[in-house]
């Protein structure tokens, strides 16, 4: 018997309740939600594979609810697993294609009351995306911009002290000025790049210092004010002190303006003209003019400060770079194990490599949702994820949160090798030592030339360490970590991993085949398969009767049997196209 619980209409990313009848819950009935989809050109799910998911506050994984097409429209089937837990059930829609993932901005809430009746309603539209973006930008200012200015100020003070220490060597530096002119010009270019990007000021200064000797270091500091340093190569040492102090004043003034919210200053009074004849005293300098912006310009503003006169607040959408790793929080674990102790894939998309016999370590889930990477012999263990070749020649930032490193060798890195787990026959980039609890960041430019087959992110240890998440951005900025929505994370993983669970197929003894089925989401490639269980309906193992499975990226075409003895079978099979 089929029962329609309620009727919802999808408009854009919103679910609208069309009817709110009270329906009695029956275990023996098929419970459906009638779904009316958006047919407008602006439908964000247009061209996508549409899926329905139900979740519960106690459930670890969302329940996928099939969408069936009947004569009078689409219906969402609420299977038995939806009502396994007591309390509210939340239903949402999701779509995915090669470019993006879209989910509904609110959810259908289903409640089973004390009289065993199903009551439905919809939740308010969530605006968490805007909140997360604004919080991320504020955190970026506090955690990146302010520390960068402070670090630049410290570096400049160090350069000033070094210049004072080398004043006694000024005559010797004088004779080397012409020899160092080429390196000085290179230092000028590095200093200009440092002015445009404060976050790379320190690395540029160190590069200039390694290219030149002590004279080049002093000249590099002097080139913070390029016009002054270029005026006379013969006075490079003495001008370095003045240029460094000037750069320090500029950095302090920029930070002060940012904190004070000054956008436009007034022009100072002109100094008095000196008496003709003997040169008069120089007039007082006017106040510094403020920075100006063109009409219509937009800036990110701290909402805890008043808005200056002539400006107004507007709402605009701000996008941070895409987080490039799949399942970076390790929250999707469709293989269902809490401990992985052999080389191979573990949580979705993460490849565990145990050097030696392939079983000398483990990757295990802890009570606080950290994962423990543990090596148990004299070699090493690593957890790895392949990244796309399109990142070759580009600058990326790798961010990870760790704890309980045991004092042995623990590293976060990007590597290039002929296998995902390999390391010794290959190259490593941005190797960062993990020693204490906290967040670690490394920024590296991956070489353009492809020497080995695979690029991969890797966590490597000769001992043990616990990891909560790993982020990868195509940027030189370590953006704050935002945990991915579980439904979106599952949909992204389902393009590479899909497990069946105790599904029954009907066949006829002697035909040699069982009918196939479609995957809920098209996979990225033709998957391989692992038969975990193939049984009679009574639970007896009959794996020997399954000869092969014919499948594509869209689903299973059919299963070939050998000497079949049953008309019904139940099975658990894992399909995967994760890269090897």
What is the arrangement of strands in the sheet containing 513-518, beginning at the earlier edge strand? 513-518, 555-561, 546-551
Does 194 lie in the same domain as 109?
no
CA distance 370 to 351: 17
Residue 371 has pLDDT above 70, yes or no: yes
User: What are the start-end ranges of the E strands in 212-360?
Assistant: 339-340, 344-345, 351-354
User: Within a domain: residue 294?
Assistant: no
CA distance 521 to 499: 12
pLDDT winner (highest mean) among 18-22, 497-501, 502-506, 525-529: 525-529
Does 470 lie in the same domain as 354?
yes
pLDDT of amino acid 389? 94
User: Within a domain: residue 278?
Assistant: no
Domains of the chain: total: 4
Token look-up 């565990």 returns 352
Token look-up 């145990």 returns 354
Does 521 lie in the same domain as 445?
no
Query: How would you classify the pairing of strands 568-576 and 497-499?
Result: antiparallel
CA distance 166 to 236: 12
Question: CB under 8 Å, gap of 24 or more: what pairs does 126-134 form?
Answer: 130/315, 130/317, 132/482, 133/317, 133/318, 133/319, 133/320, 134/318
Greater confidence (129 vs 359) lies with 359
Compute the residue count for the chain.
580
User: Within a domain: residue 333?
Assistant: no
Query: Percent of the chain beyond pLDDT 70?
Result: 68
What is the per-residue pLDDT across 304-338, written as a single tens digit (0 to 9) for each?
778 888 788 776 655 557 899 999 999 999 999 99
Does 414 lie in the same domain as 362?
yes
User: For the chain, what percentages of helix, strand and coil (3-state, to nearest 5) are there?
Assistant: 25, 30, 45
CA distance 85 to 70: 29
Say if pTM beats, i.e. exceeds, 0.85.
no
CATH assignment of the domain containing 36: 2.60.40
CB atoms under 10 Å from CB of 53, counted, come to: 22
User: What are the start-end ranges of the E strands in 333-425?
Assistant: 339-340, 344-345, 351-354, 361-365, 371-375, 381-387, 395-403, 410-417
Does 94 lie in the same domain as 145?
no
What is the per-residue pLDDT across 532-568, written as a single tens digit (0 to 9) for each?
999 998 899 999 999 999 999 999 998 999 988 888 8
CATH assignment of the domain containing 390: 2.60.120.260
Token output for 420: 């995902």
The angle subtended at Cα 534 by Cα 528 and Cα 540, nearest 5°, is 165
* Alpha carbon separation from 89 to 34, 108, 248 (Å, rounded): 16, 8, 59
Does 16 lie in the same domain as 134?
no
Residue 125 has pLDDT above 70, yes or no: yes
pLDDT band at 168 (very low <50, low <70, confident <90, very high): low
CA distance 568 to 514: 9
CB atoms under 10 Å from CB of 159, counted, come to: 25
Question: Average pLDDT, whole number, for the chain?
Answer: 78
Does 43 lie in the same domain as 143?
no
CA distance 116 to 25: 6
User: Within a domain: residue 281?
Assistant: no
Does 519 lie in the same domain as 444?
no
* Alpha carbon separation from 418 to 129, 260, 439, 455, 470 (Å, rounded): 39, 54, 29, 9, 22
pLDDT of amino acid 122? 87
Token output for 421: 């787990």
pLDDT (average), residues 12-19: 88
Please, where are the H alpha helices in 346-499? 486-493
User: Within a domain: residue 115?
Assistant: yes
| Last residue within a domain, chosen from 260, 293, 312 | 260
pLDDT (average), residues 88-101: 85
Q: Give me the residues paired with residue 361 across strands.
A: 375
* Alpha carbon separation from 462 to 177, 288, 341, 449, 465 (Å, rounded): 50, 57, 16, 30, 10
Does 169 lie in the same domain as 79?
no
User: Within a domain: residue 398?
Assistant: yes
| Last residue within a domain, chosen from 225, 260, 295 | 260
What is the per-residue pLDDT across 463-501, written as a single tens digit (0 to 9) for each?
999 999 999 999 998 889 999 999 899 999 999 999 987
Does 217 lie in the same domain as 205?
yes
| Last residue within a domain, chosen from 107, 126, 145 | 126
Does 178 lie in the same domain as 78?
no
Residue 61 has pLDDT above 50, yes or no: yes
Cα 380 from chain centroid (whole Å) = 27
What is the per-residue pLDDT across 406-461, written as a single tens digit (0 to 9) for each?
989 999 999 999 988 877 678 999 999 999 999 999 999 999 999 999 999 999 99
Q: Give me the residues paired with residue 371 across strands.
A: 365, 467
pLDDT of amino acid 3? 85
Token look-up 């038969």 returns 531
Does 117 lie in the same domain as 139?
no
User: Within a domain: residue 221?
Assistant: yes
Token output for 425: 């026959």
Token output for 178: 């012409």
User: Within a domain: residue 392?
Assistant: yes
Token output for 266: 């007034």
Domain of 362? Answer: 339-486
């Amino acid at each position: 018997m089929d029962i329609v619980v309620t009727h919802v209409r999808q408009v854009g990313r919103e679910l609208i309740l069309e009817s709110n009848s009270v329906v009695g819950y029956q275990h023996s009935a098929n419970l459906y939600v009638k779904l009316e989809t958006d047919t407008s050109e602006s439908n964000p799910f247009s061209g996508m594979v549409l899926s329905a998911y139900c979740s519960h506050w106690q459930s670890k994984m969302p329940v996928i609810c099939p969408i069936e097409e009947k004569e009078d429209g689409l219906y969402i089937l609420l299977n038995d697993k939806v009502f396994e837990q007591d309390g509210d059930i939340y239903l949402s829609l999701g779509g995915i294609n090669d470019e993006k993932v879209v989910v509904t901005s609110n959810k259908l809430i289903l409640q089973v009351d004390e009289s065993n009746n199903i009551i439905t309603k919809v939740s308010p539209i969530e605006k968490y995306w805007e909140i997360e973006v604004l919080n991320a930008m504020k955190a970026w200012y506090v955690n990146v911009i302010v520390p960068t200015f402070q670090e630049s100020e410290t570096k400049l003070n160090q350069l000033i002290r070094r210049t004072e220490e080398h004043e006694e060597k000024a005559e010797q530096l004088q004779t080397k000025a012409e020899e160092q002119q080429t390196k000085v010009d290179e230092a000028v270019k590095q200093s200009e790049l440092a002015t445009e990007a404060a976050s790379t000021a320190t690395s540029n200064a160190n590069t200039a210092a390694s290219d030149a000797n002590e004279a080049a270091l002093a000249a590099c500091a002097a080139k913070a004010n390029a016009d002054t340093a270029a005026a006379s190569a013969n006075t490079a040492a003495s001008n370095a002190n003045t240029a460094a102090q000037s750069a320090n004043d500029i950095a302090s003034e920029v930070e002060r303006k940012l904190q004070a919210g000054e956008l436009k200053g007034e022009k100072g009074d002109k100094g008095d003209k000196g008496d003709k004849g003997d040169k008069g005293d120089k007039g007082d300098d006017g106040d510094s003019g403020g920075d100006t912006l063109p009409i219509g310009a937009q800036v990110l503003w701290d909402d805890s400060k008043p808005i200056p006169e002539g400006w107004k607040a507007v709402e605009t959408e701000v996008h941070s770079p895409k987080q490039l790793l799949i399942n970076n929080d390790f929250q999707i674990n469709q293989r269902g194990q809490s401990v992985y102790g052999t080389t191979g894939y573990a949580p979705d998309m993460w490849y565990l490599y145990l050097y030696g016999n392939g079983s000398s370590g483990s990757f295990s889930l802890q009570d606080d949702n950290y994962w423990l990477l543990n090596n148990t012999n004299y070699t090493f263990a690593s957890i790895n994820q392949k990244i796309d070749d399109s990142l070759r020649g580009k600058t990326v930032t790798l961010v990870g949160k760790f704890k309980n490193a045991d004092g042995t060798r623990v590293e976060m890195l990007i590597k290039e090798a002929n296998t995902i787990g390999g390391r010794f026959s290959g190259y490593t980039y941005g190797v960062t030592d993990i020693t204490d609890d906290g967040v670690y960041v490394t920024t590296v430019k991956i070489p353009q030339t492809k020497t080995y087959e695979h690029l991969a992110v890797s966590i490597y240890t000769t001992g043990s360490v616990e990891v909560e998440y790993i982020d990868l951005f195509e940027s030189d900025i370590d953006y704050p970590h935002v945990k991915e929505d579980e439904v979106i994370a599952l949909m992204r993983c389902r393009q590479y991993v899909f497990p069946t669970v105790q599904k029954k197929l009907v066949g006829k003894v002697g035909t040699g085949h069982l009918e196939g089925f479609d995957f809920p989401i098209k996979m990225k490639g033709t998957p391989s398969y692992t038969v975990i269980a193939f049984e009679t309906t009574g639970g007896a193992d009959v794996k020997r009767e399954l000869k092969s499975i014919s499948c594509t990226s869209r689903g299973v075409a059919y299963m070939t049997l050998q000497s079949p003895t049953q008309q019904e079978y139940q099975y658990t099979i894992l399909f995967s196209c994760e890269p090897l």
